[in-house]
Amino acid sequence: MRQLAKRLLVLQGNEDDYTLHCSLVTAAARRNAVAEAVQKDLEQRFSLDVRSAAQAKCRESLTAWWRARAAQGEAIAGALWATLTHARCDEWLEMRVLGQVHMLQHQVGAAQRVDLSRYRELADEHQALAREYAAVQRRVTTWSLEHAREQQAWERDKLQLRAAQISLQTQLAQAQEQLARWQAARPDLPEREALRERLAEQIERNQTLQREVNRLAARLPVVPDVFEAPEPAPEIDVLVSMPVKLERRVVLCVGGRGGSVPQYRQAVEGCGAQFLHHDGGSEHKPAQLEPQLAAADLVICQTGCISHDAYWRVKDHCKRHQKRCVFVETPSRSAFERALAQAAADESAETTL
C-alpha cells in the first residue's frame, strides 16, 4: 500500500501508516486510477481466496465459506476481500461480515494486550534467567580457573615425584652394581657373613654367661682371712710369678671394665711397655681403633666386653699385619696378667728359636 500511495498519490514524505490508509480509502471511494490500481493489487494478492470463494454459487454457500475461513483465524484479510467482492454478497451478508470483523478486531486487540502482558512477564523472566545464567557462568569460570591451577599443581607434583623416583632408581642401580663388584672381589663374603653372625651369637652367649658368673660370684660368702690361700696351679702360677718383660713395646688393650683400666695400665707399665686402651665401642669412637691397632706391638682383646664390629676390626687387622693378638674371655686383672705372661713367653720362645 505504501508503494501504491507513493506512486499514485501526492505525498509530503512524512505521512504515517494511518494517513496513507485514509488517503487511499478516500481516493478509492470513486472509480478512478487509484481505485483500479488498488483493486488490481488486492485481486493479485488474494487471488487464491478469490478463486476459492468463486465456487460459491449462492449467498448461503458464500456465507458458509466465510464462516469456515473466519473460524480458522488465518489469512482473514484475503477471505474478507474475496467475500465482499463476490457477486453473491448482498447488503445483508456484507453487514454480517463487517460486524464479525469488527468483533474480531476487539478480540485481536484483547489478545494483543494479553500477549503484551505475557511478553512483559516473559521479558522479566528472561532477564532473571539471564542474570542467573551470568552468575552460573561466573561460577563455572571460577571453578575452571581453580581446576586449571590444581591441574598445574598436580602436574608439577607428578614431575617432582617422577624425578625423585628416577633418582632413587638410579641410586638403587648404582648400589646394586657396587654390591656386585664387592661380591665379585670377595667371593668368600657370604661365608664371612655367616661366620660373623655365628661369632656374634657366641659373643652374646659368652657375655650372658659372664654376667651369670659375676652374679653368682657376688652371692658367694666372703672367705675369712684365717684361711690360707690355696696353692696356685703350677703352670699358670709360674707364668704369673715370673717377671714379664716387654720393654719398649706398645700393648693395646681392647675392651675390659672401665674400673679395671688403671690395673691394666699398672700391669703393662710394670713390664716396661707402653699402655694403650680402647673400650671396644661403648664410648670411644670406632675410628680411633684403627690408628691404635697400627701403633700397637701386642693386642689383648677382651671378647666379653667389646662390640661385634670392634672384634672383627681387631681380628682382621692383626691377621693382615701378622700382629700378635691374645683373646681373653674373662675381664679380670688376673686374666689380663696371664695374657701378658703368655705373650711374653711366646715372644721369648720365638727369640730363642
Per-residue model confidence (pLDDT) at position 85: 82
- What pLDDT score does 196 carry? 75
Residue at 138: amino acid letter? R
- Bridge partners of 60, per DSSP, are none
Boundary residue ending a domain (75, 98, 121)? 98
The residue to which cell 494486550 is assigned: 113
Which stretches of the chain drop beneath a pLDDT of 70?
1, 5-6, 10-13, 73-75, 111, 188-189, 220-245, 282, 284, 348-353
Residues 40 and 122 in one domain: no
Please indicate, yes or no, whether residues 88 and 138 belong to a single structural domain of this protein: no
Does residue 72 sit in the same domain as residue 7? yes
Contact 294, 252 (CB under 8 A): no
**How confident is the model at residue 71, as a pLDDT?**
81
In this structure, are 87 and 119 located in the same domain? no
In a domain, 83, yes or no: yes
pLDDT of residue 89: 86
**Residue 172: inside a domain:** yes
Residues 31 and 116 in one domain: no
In this structure, are residues 267 and 298 in contact, taking their beta carbons and an 8 Å threshold? no
79 and 29 belong to one structural domain: yes
Return mean pLDDT, the chain: 80
Residue 41, domain member (yes or no): yes
Judgement on whether residues 115 and 82 belong to the same structural domain of the protein? no
Q: Do both 291 and 343 map to the same domain? A: yes
Residue at a domain's end among 98, 131, 158:
98
Q: In terms of domains, do 120 and 74 share one?
A: no
Burial, 92: exposed, middle or buried (Cβ in 10 Å; 0-12, 13-18, 19+)? exposed
**For the chain, how far is it from start to end, CA to CA, in angstroms?**
150
244 with 267, same domain?
yes
Q: What is the reported pLDDT for 349?
A: 67
> What's the rounded Cα separation, in Å, for the pair 81 and 18?
20
Query: How many domains is the chain built from?
Result: 3
Q: Which three cell numbers stand for residue 345?
A: 713367653
> Does residue 124 sit in the same domain as residue 90?
no
* Residue 15 in domain: yes
CB 303, CB 203: distance < 8 Å? yes
- Whether residue 201 is contained in a domain is answered as no
pLDDT of the residue at 75: 64
Q: Does a structural domain hold residue 160?
A: yes
Chain segment 50-76, per-residue pLDDT in tens: 888 888 889 898 889 888 888 876 667
What's the alpha-carbon Rg for the chain, to the nearest Å?
64
Q: Is 70 among the domain residues?
A: yes
Query: Mind listing the pLDDT tens digit for each residue in 244-302?
Result: 567 788 999 998 888 888 998 998 988 888 999 988 876 767 778 888 999 999 999 98
| Residue 231 in domain | no
Q: Which domain holds residue 37?
A: 2-98
Last residue of a domain, which of 44, 64, 98?
A: 98
Q: State whether 253 and 290 are in the same domain.
A: yes
Q: What does the pLDDT read at residue 10?
A: 63
